[in-house]
Structure 1
Amino acid sequence: MAKKPVTSRSGRFLKLAGMTASVAGQYAGQKARRMFRSENDEGAQSESYTRMAGQIADTLGELKGAVMKVGQIASQTQDFLPREFSEALEKLQKEAPPMPFEVIVQQIESELGKPIPALFEYLQETPYAAASIGQVHRGRLLDGTDVIVKVQYPGVDESCDSDLKQLRLALKLGGLLKMPKESVDQLFAEIRERLKEELDYENEARNLQMFRDFHKDQPWVHIPQVISGHSTRRVLTMELIEGDHVSKVNRDRYDQGTINLIGQRIFELMADQLFRFQCIHGDPHAGNFAYRPDGSIVMYDFGCVKKLKPEIVEAYRNALTAALSEDYEALDRYLIDLGARVSNQPAVDEAYYAMWRDILIVPFEQEGFYDFAEAEIHKQVAAKTSTVFKYLDRFKPPVESIFIDRMIAGHYWMLKRLGVQAAFRAELDKYLNDH
């Protein structure tokens, strides 16, 4: 039998408090056992981390909401948590268990003030998609318009702050936060701000319209229209616009030329949002994009949108330009402007910057096409992460640009999964010089 969903604030708190106590107990036990070992048993530590991670991931998946969202962000931010946690939390990206349909119906009727038959010709019981703070159902309006209805889980918005505090406490007591307190404060403040926006579907409706306006001259971008009469702060009804999930983009219907065209357009979307609009789609995972055999792209879910400060965009542009031209002294200065480098610490060794540049710049330095299907940049980055510890006092998580990094990483994975072959250097230079 499916577990009854926890929707009350006190119920959520007790569930998270139980998880916190268990994780803290396991951590204390692990520390005590280590005292009696002649050497640090990494295997036992990893096993303990895996056990704690599994428990946290299961609890977050059941509760959904803010804590699950943080879990998803943590899984994409490798320097935030130990590897075992990143791996366990990654499944939250893929395995969000759905909320019972009667809970969804109750939420819609309470928000829109009418029974379902007075609002929709039909509403499908099986979710179209289930995510961290809400789930999506397919339906049809009484006038015959096919729609998707995004419904926020009850209790999620009221418990956002207490959920975040409790999760942070669990990670702290489990000895799992690998960052100084000031950085953790900044990171959680940024996550909280984005979550508050994401929990407000009226804000998302405004974002949808803003991005439709941004991309109005690009007819190959499809962004759903909001049905305002069927939308509130916790229910968002949009026209149904369908396309193929990346897993369905296969050689039967998409030739390499079409895939490459889609890749060029993905790059253009990303660069336009970053450099021209200075406002980015902050949640670029595979479920938020779809594709069509004519080379067009469908974009979904505009709850997480990050408006960028012009000086941050300028610092990012300058840092990229300096890295491309191997001017590492300038790069060091621009990283301070970006908030990624601690200003009162000595300059970083140029060889360190050169090492990272040589890994990350590869798609832009190819003679001819770069084949993203064969890309192993993520593996090379992972292999070098231990070098970060040498300069730990010189760098800090760049809170203002963390969503830019997240956007670029998300688009890298899309280009890789699609198997795009592209030469982006001329395009990149155009964006860097266009200001």
Structure 2
Amino acid sequence: MAKKSVTTRTGRFMKLAGMTASVAGRYASEKVRSSFSSDDEKEDRRSKTYDKMANDIVSTLGELKGAVMKVGQIASQTQDFLPKEFSSALQKLQKEAPPMDFSLIRQQIKDELGAEPEAIFDTFDQEPYAAASIGQVHRAKTKDGREVIVKVQYPGVDKSCDSDLKQLRMTLKLGGLLKIPKESVDQLFQEILERLHEELDYQNEATNIKRFQEFHKDDEGLIIPTVLDELSTRRILTMELVEGDHLSELDRSIYTQDVINLIGHRIFTTMADQLFKFQCIHGDPHAGNFAFRPDGTVIMYDFGCVKQLKPEIVTAYKAALNAGIGKDYKLLDKRLIELGVRVEGKPALDEGYYAMWRDIFITPFEHKDEIYDFAQASLHTKVASKAPTVFKHLDSFKPPVESLFIDRLIAGHYWMMKNLGVQAAFRNELEAYLK
């Protein structure tokens, strides 16, 4: 059954306030204890405290769904601004959310489409096809016999979005968890709020789907399901049913290495085309929003969150990549200032610092014709091991929100490549995009 806190603002506020008080209390207690501890004891105690905080936060966000759960999902992929202990806990939010009681779904459909689902559709499954942070999906058949899925937004989610986000930000602040400058935090949360408002408007998502379908219309092996406008509103989105196998379900006797490599190539070119040509990117690139077929077809879902990039950002990003690949670290420093990542006026960083990161990120593209096995990739562990060096230079960096979304795009696709076990040599294609 649905919990009251999901659909009432008072219930949600009380639940989030309780979470905030718990996290803030743990943080304050830990600060007092740390003042009497050795460095090793401090580190061990801090890690355990963060684990407890993370579990408190994940449990509450998963129950409440909505904006706060969506932010938790974003944070699990964009881990730059939270301690590493939160990453594994937050990744639980990427898994399917528990469904909402069908009576609430029925009422939402009646409010939006004017009648109950049984009257509008020939058939309508009460058991959800999938459940997520701001809505759940049901399988149905239209009166004229078309197989569709119907995405229904949870009641009250849009009304609680702003207050939920403010409360979550307060939780992270009082828990001492935000590790980027206040100005960057302001930018990041404002951007998340804008994207959430867009994502809560299913008519906006329908427009996004049509834009991406038009851009990719000539791309062989890529499918984006079509919207049924007559059965869609701001809170209801009906689309043709396009099924495939999700990443966790692939039968490796059918999905041979050649098929996996073809899928990997299509994922790479789709991502690069959106970033460098369309300059508009799919903003929620986790594995749950993709499906595959044994012929190498890639299916993309969920276009509620997309990010239109400024042309000058894409140009500066390409220039920075070229400088990094070419090991021209003085030029790279200049390009990062132009991109808005490095603060102008601060002293230039040691070239060895840039070289360290360049050598990590270039790994899959190091050799032009040498196959790279993403299944063996360890970029994420290398990045995590060097993360403490980032905090030493926080004053020198202030990444624009656009670059955080690009980072999220790349990180999401990296994990898909790794979990698929793609074997490919992308260096020549990357250089072609960067010309």
Q: Where in structure 2 are the equivalents of 1:102-181 lying within 5 Å?
A: 102-181=103-182
Gaps of 5+ in 2: none
What corresponds to 2:32 in structure 1?
32
Instruction: Return the offset for 1:36.
Output: 4.3
Aligned counterparts of 1:369 and 1:127: Cα–Cα separation in 2: 41
Given that 2:152 and 2:236 are in contact with CA atoms closer than 8 Å, whether structure 1 keeps it comes out as yes
**CA deviation string 1:68-124 (max 9, x = no partner):** 111111122222112222222111111422111111111111111112122111211
Given that 1:208 and 1:223 are in contact with CA atoms closer than 8 Å, whether structure 2 keeps it comes out as yes
Q: Where in structure 2 are the equivalents of 1:11-410 lying within 5 Å?
A: 11-37=11-37, 40-366=41-367, 367-410=369-412
Deviates more, 1:73-82 or 1:289-298: 73-82
In structure 2, what residue type is equivalent to 1:22? Answer: S
Aligned counterparts of 2:229 and 2:220: Cα–Cα separation in 1: 23
Aligned counterparts of 2:38 and 2:206: Cα–Cα separation in 1: 59
Given that 2:215 and 2:278 are in contact with CA atoms closer than 8 Å, whether structure 1 keeps it comes out as yes
Percent identity, please: 68
Aligned counterparts of 1:259 and 1:235: Cα–Cα separation in 2: 34
Given that 1:149 and 1:237 are in contact with CA atoms closer than 8 Å, whether structure 2 keeps it comes out as yes
Going from structure 1 to structure 2, the CA distance change for 1:88 and 1:388 (only over 3 Å counts) comes to: same
In structure 1, what residue type is equivalent to 2:350? Answer: D
Aligned length: 433
In structure 2, what residue type is equivalent to 1:424? Answer: F
In structure 2, what residue type is equivalent to 1:82? Answer: P
Aligned counterparts of 2:342 and 2:159: Cα–Cα separation in 1: 36
Aligned equivalent of 1:430, options 416, 429, 432: 432
Instruction: Return the offset for 1:37.
Output: 4.1
Deviates more, 1:33-42 or 1:393-402: 33-42
Gaps of 5+ in 1: none
Aligned counterparts of 1:275 and 1:34: Cα–Cα separation in 2: 48
SS in 2 for 1:142: coil
Aligned counterparts of 2:5 and 2:126: Cα–Cα separation in 1: 17
Instruction: Return the offset for 1:316.
Output: 0.7
Aligned counterparts of 2:2 and 2:110: Cα–Cα separation in 1: 23
SS in 2 for 1:159: helix
Given that 2:140 and 2:147 are in contact with CA atoms closer than 8 Å, whether structure 1 keeps it comes out as yes
**CA deviation string 1:262-303 (max 9, x = no partner):** 111111101110111000001111010111111111000000
Aligned counterparts of 1:283 and 1:51: Cα–Cα separation in 2: 27
Aligned counterparts of 2:116 and 2:291: Cα–Cα separation in 1: 32
Given that 2:313 and 2:339 are in contact with CA atoms closer than 8 Å, whether structure 1 keeps it comes out as yes
Instruction: Return the offset for 1:4.
Output: 4.4
Given that 2:228 and 2:238 are in contact with CA atoms closer than 8 Å, whether structure 1 keeps it comes out as yes
In structure 2, what residue type is equivalent to 1:28? Answer: A
Given that 1:208 and 1:225 are in contact with CA atoms closer than 8 Å, whether structure 2 keeps it comes out as yes
Aligned counterparts of 1:384 and 1:28: Cα–Cα separation in 2: 28
**CA deviation string 1:295-318 (max 9, x = no partner):** 111000000100000000001110
Given that 1:280 and 1:307 are in contact with CA atoms closer than 8 Å, whether structure 2 keeps it comes out as yes
Deviates more, 1:363-372 or 1:285-294: 363-372
In structure 1, what residue type is equivalent to 2:89? Answer: A
Aligned counterparts of 2:32 and 2:322: Cα–Cα separation in 1: 50
TM-score by length of 1: 0.96
What corresponds to 1:420 in structure 2?
422
Aligned counterparts of 1:226 and 1:307: Cα–Cα separation in 2: 21
SS in 2 for 1:136: strand
SS in 2 for 1:393: helix
Instruction: Return the offset for 1:51.
Output: 1.6
Aligned counterparts of 2:256 and 2:380: Cα–Cα separation in 1: 26
Aligned counterparts of 1:199 and 1:312: Cα–Cα separation in 2: 26
Aligned counterparts of 1:38 and 1:400: Cα–Cα separation in 2: 41
SS in 1 for 2:347: coil
| Two-structure CA RMSD over aligned residues (Å) | 1.5
Aligned counterparts of 1:317 and 1:397: Cα–Cα separation in 2: 15
**CA deviation string 1:388-429 (max 9, x = no partner):** 133221112331211111111111111111111111111111
Instruction: Return the offset for 1:191.
Output: 0.7
Aligned counterparts of 1:414 and 1:47: Cα–Cα separation in 2: 30
Instruction: Return the offset for 1:211.
Output: 0.5
SS in 1 for 2:395: coil
